[in-house]
Structure 1
Amino acid sequence: MDAPQQLLSISFPPSSEPFDVSKVAGNASPEIKERISNLHKFLHTFVPAQYKDVAFFGRSIQERFVVTEVSVLEKKDEPSKLEGRVVVELDVNEEMINGGGNIHGGCSAFLVDMCSSLAISTLGLATEGTQYPTVSQAINMIYHSPAAVGDRLRLVNTSMTLGNRAQSARTEIWNVTHSRLVASGTHIKMKPSAPPKANL
C-alpha cells in the first residue's frame, strides 16, 4: 500500500501586491490560496520577460478568471491520496464565441488547459512545497451544451495524478446561468525535456 500523502506547512515570500483571500473558499492554506488565486501574478510568473507586455493568445480571457475555491482533499476512492481542487468563474464574452454566438470549442479547450493546471499546482504546493513548469501532452474534450454571451461559467478543476514526469487533471465547465454542463476535459501534462547543451 502506498504511503499516505502528507500536507506540508509552507510559506512563501510576502507578496509585493497583497491579495485578499478572505472570499476564496476551500481548505487550502492562506499562502496557497494567495499563490493560486492571484492569477495575474501566478500566470505571469511563467511568461518570459520579452512577452510580459504582449497581447498573447488568451491573455484577455485569463485576466478575467476569478478563483472562488482552492482545496486539498482526500480522494474519495483512494483515501491515502490527495487531490487539488480549484474552482474558477468567468462570463462568456464576444471574444470567446464562434459564428453561431456560442462559446467556441477551441476556447473551451483553452479554459481546460489553463484552469486544470491550477489544480495540479495546488496539489504540488500542498504536498511538495513547489510547482513545476510543465507542458501539455494531450487534452481530450467532450462538448455537452452551448453557452452564449453573458452566461456565467463555473470551471471545476480536479487533479488526478502528480508524478515525477507526468501529471493529469480533469475539468468540468458548468453554465451557472442555465444549470447545465457545457464541456468536460482531461489534461495530461509533462515536465519539459532539458534543453540540449551547446557544443563548445
Structure 2
Amino acid sequence: MPISGNLDPELMKYFTDIPRYFAKHRQQRIEQGKTVFGDSIIQRLVVTHASLDSKAEEPLKREGRLVCEIVVAEDMLNGGGSVHGGCSAFLIDLCSGLCLWILQPDVFTVSQSLNVVYHAPAALGETLRIVNTTLTVGSRTVSARTEIWSATNHRLIASGVHIKMQPSETKL
C-alpha cells in the first residue's frame, strides 16, 4: 500500500519499511538470538501517511504529520483482553519519534518525558490508527502529540505528548 503525503521520495522510503529504520539497533541482538522489546509490534506497524506542511496556526513554522496503522494482536493485550497501557505508551513513543524524524532526520534524541491519557479500551482484532503531529522543534528539545484511534469503532483510545531531547555527552 503506497504512503500518502508530500515528503521527498528519499525521506519517504524510510517509512515504507519500519523494521529497516530500526535495523542497525536491532540486528546484532537478533543475530545473537535475543529478543528485542516490541519487535513483533514494530514488524506489523504500517505507515499510511507522512507529510511536512506549514503549521495552520503559525505559517512560518513547519509541522510534521505521520499516520500509522496496526491491528490489535494477542501480544498487545492485558489480562482483561484489551490493549495494555504499556503497549499504548510504546506506540506513542515509537510513532511520535518517527514523526519528529520528519523534521530532523539526522538528529539523535532520547525521551525526556511521555504523558499518556487513556480514554477507552481497544480489543483484539481492532485496527488502530495512530495520528502524530510535531509540536515544537528547539535547539535541544522536540515534542509531538499523538492520538491513538480505533478505526474499527471510531473512538479515541489514548493520547499523549512526547518530549525528546538530544542527550548530553557520556561522562567517563
CA–CA distance in 2 between the matches of 1:141 and 1:173?
A: 11
Correspondent of 1:185 among 146, 160, 164: 160
* 1:16-62 Cα shifts (integer Å, max 9, x gaps): xxxxxx711011111111023321111223x1663243311111111
Render the CA deviation track for 1:149-180: whole Å, top value 9, x for unaligned. Answer: 00000000111111221111010001000011
1:137 correspondence with 2:112: yes
RMSD: 1.4
Work out whether residues 141 and 166 of structure 2, in 8 Å CA contact, stay in contact via their aligned partners in 1: yes
TM-score, length of structure 2 as denominator length: 0.93
Percent of paired sites with the same residue: 48
Secondary structure of 2:22's partner?
helix
Instruction: Supply the AA of the counterpart residue of 1:110.
Output: F
Compared CA separation, residues 97 and 164, structure 1 to 2 (3 A): same
> 1:133 and 1:38 mapped to 2: Cα distance?
19
**Of residues 152, 157, 161 in structure 1, which corresponds to 2:136?**
161
Match of 2:28 in 1: 50
Match of 1:121 among 90, 101, 113: 101
Other-structure match for 2:52: 72
Q: Which segments of 5 or more consecutive residues in structure 1 lack a partner in the other structure? A: 1-21, 126-130
Return the offset for 1:132.
1.4
Q: Which residue of 2 aligns with 1:98?
A: 78
Moved over 3 A (4+): none
Partner AA of 2:149 in structure 1? W
Change (3 A) 1:25 1:105: same
2:61 to 62, 71, 81: 81
CA contact (8 A) 2:26 2:36 kept: no
Q: Partners of 2:22 and 2:50 in 1: how far apart? A: 16
**Structure-1 residue corresponding to 2:10:** 31
3-state secondary structure, aligned to 1:63: helix
d(CA) in 2 for partners of 1:193, 1:77:
32
TM-score, length basis structure 1: 0.81
Larger Rg belongs to: 1
Question: Unaligned regions of 5+ residues in structure 2, if any?
Answer: none
Q: 1:174 to 1:48 in 2, by over 3 A?
A: closer
Question: How many residue pairs were aligned?
Answer: 170
Q: Please tell me whether the aligned partners of residues 44 and 52 of structure 1 are also in contact (alpha carbons under 8 angstroms).
A: no
